[in-house]
Structure 1
Amino acid sequence: MVIHKEGYKILTYLFVVLLIVNLAVYYLLPESTAFRWTVWGISAFIYIMILQFFRSPRRLIITNDNHVIAPADGKVVVIEEVDEPEFFNEKRKQVSIFMSPVNVHINRNPISGMVTYFKYHPGKYLVAWHPKSSTENERTTIVVTAKNGTSILLRQIAGALAKRIVWYLQAGEEVKQGEELGFIKFGSRVDVFLPLDAKVKVAIGEKVKGGSTVIAEFK
């Protein structure tokens, strides 16, 4: 299993803390064999759960300028036409992907192009499926414009557990479809705002893989 760089520090600290706890139980309660094994089992379970959260599986990225690929692993929870007020100020097709704590939490570029807008918004930590999470939670807004002039807006959104959004790009930077753009720790959601004439290729409830699943196709 390959571990993502965002997990190195957390996993190191967690290992040290769990080691101290287990050593303290071992030396302070030498006669409590059952309790020691219980603590060890709980510690191993916690560490494995956090470890799998930061896994970084290899993905075969097939680039296509007509495709919009999923920016994250998870389940499609929203497909609708909405008003996008921050950048486009017009109606767009929104596709939202919910990432549970067991999903891979790497975020990837849905298309290739130039980052023409980027903004970080501090905010609340409403549950990711809350209707106002897209506009009130901590989030980033990223607009990527392809060479043909088509633009999409991507929003990383923190949730009730996810209180750390990481991004690796900035305005004016060229990005490639499928490459990592950031990471959201411990479950959240990613919104993609597409042109109205884009053909959505996924359905509500469908599970998608970041960098692999085609979620829409440009006209």
Structure 2
Amino acid sequence: MKMRDTFLKPMHPEGRRFVAIFAAIAAALFLVSSILGWVGVGLTVWCYYFFRDPKRVTPIRDGLIVSPADGIVSLIEKAVPPPELGMSDQALTRVSVFMSVFNCHVNRAPAGGKISAIAYRPGKFFNASLDKASADNERNSLCIDMADGRQIAVVQIAGLVARRIVCFSAVGDVLKTGERFGLIRFGSRLDVYLPEGVQPLVSLGQTMVAGETVVADLTSDEAARSGRTD
């Protein structure tokens, strides 16, 4: 890998018009003040960085569930999947990954399989790190039927700043583990509902990498993990 590749990442097409808008504002600000202009340049660079879409190396062993988002594990608890998906009303283990405005916001499939349902629901814009965001915030939910017959749900949740959930996939699409399926603009959260009996292999506060960090292993009987903060 070249040194420049460490800092210069591909940008998702969704970000092009936003970067163009920020750049135009920065140019206009230079007409007012050079200080304001450079502030605009800084914000333009941040906008480009927000919409970065780096390549990821996804583990491909059968049974692995990977993180759908970059960020921090903010919640691990039992919860019923969104009712609009038509899944069981049984409480499943939910792993929530909170994305700040500095994280990459491209979302990736936690597991491979066929999308059997997609349901959008408008809502509020509480801080996405709060527990009530799962129930009250704007969200877009996907149900994925895996090859072994089990289902997994992944939910895009808008946050305090986010106002636009984007989903590139449709019902009937077959996704590979780690494949891009959407993004959320400017701060948000992803929830993954694990199949019944599957324990998470991540801990609260752990840093996640979309498409790479293993959240759970369907073939393992390992107990849920706990972590230590040093």
Deviation at 1:16, TM superposition (A): 1.4
TM-score, with structure 1 as normaliser: 0.91
List aligned pairs for 1:13-92, cutoff 5 A: 13-22=21-30, 24-25=31-32, 36-84=33-81, 86=83, 87-92=87-92
Q: Which runs of 5+ in 2 are unaligned?
A: 1-7, 220-230
Q: Tell me, what secondary structure is at the counterpart of 2:80? A: strand
Q: In the alignment, what sits opposite 1:133?
A: 133
Q: Tell me, what secondary structure is at the counterpart of 1:171? A: coil
> Structure 1 CA distance, aligned partners of 2:205 and 2:82?
26
Q: Which amino acid aligns with 1:65?
A: D
Given that 2:155 and 2:190 are in contact with CA atoms closer than 8 Å, whether structure 1 keeps it comes out as yes
Q: In the alignment, what sits opposite 1:176?
A: 176
Deviation at 1:62, TM superposition (A): 2.3
Which digits, 9 at most, give the CA deviation of each residue in 1:25-58, with x for residues without a partner? 2xxxxxxxxxx33123211221122121111112
- Size of the alignment, in residue pairs? 208
Provide the aligned C-alpha RMSD in A: 1.2
Q: In the alignment, what sits opposite 2:195?
A: 195
List aligned pairs for 1:199-218, cutoff 5 A: 199-218=199-218
Q: Which amino acid aligns with 2:172?
A: G
Given that 2:22 and 2:40 are in contact with CA atoms closer than 8 Å, whether structure 1 keeps it comes out as no
Given that 2:25 and 2:40 are in contact with CA atoms closer than 8 Å, whether structure 1 keeps it comes out as no
Q: In the alignment, what sits opposite 1:28?
A: none
> Structure 2 CA distance, aligned partners of 1:159 and 1:200?
24
> Structure 1 CA distance, aligned partners of 2:48 and 2:200?
34
> Structure 2 CA distance, aligned partners of 1:64 and 1:170?
25
Deviation at 1:85, TM superposition (A): 5.3
Q: In the alignment, what sits opposite 1:105?
A: 105
Change (3 A) 1:40 1:20: closer
Deviation at 1:105, TM superposition (A): 0.4
Q: Tell me, what secondary structure is at the counterpart of 1:90? A: coil
Q: In the alignment, what sits opposite 2:223?
A: none
Percent identity, aligned pairs only, is 33
TM-score, with structure 2 as normaliser: 0.87
> Structure 2 CA distance, aligned partners of 1:105 and 1:68?
19
Q: Which amino acid aligns with 1:167?
A: C
Q: Which amino acid aligns with 2:80?
A: D
Which digits, 9 at most, give the CA deviation of each residue in 1:103-154, with x for residues without a partner? 0000000111110111011111111022221121111110001111011111
Q: Tell me, what secondary structure is at the counterpart of 2:92? A: strand
Given that 2:143 and 2:154 are in contact with CA atoms closer than 8 Å, whether structure 1 keeps it comes out as yes
Larger radius of gyration: 1
List aligned pairs for 1:142-153, cutoff 5 A: 142-153=142-153
Task: Single out whichever of 171-180 and 97-106 deviates more from structure 2.
Answer: 171-180
2:19 aligns with one of 6, 11, 31? 11
Deviation at 1:83, TM superposition (A): 2.9
Q: In the alignment, what sits opposite 1:123?
A: 123
Q: Which amino acid aligns with 1:18?
A: A
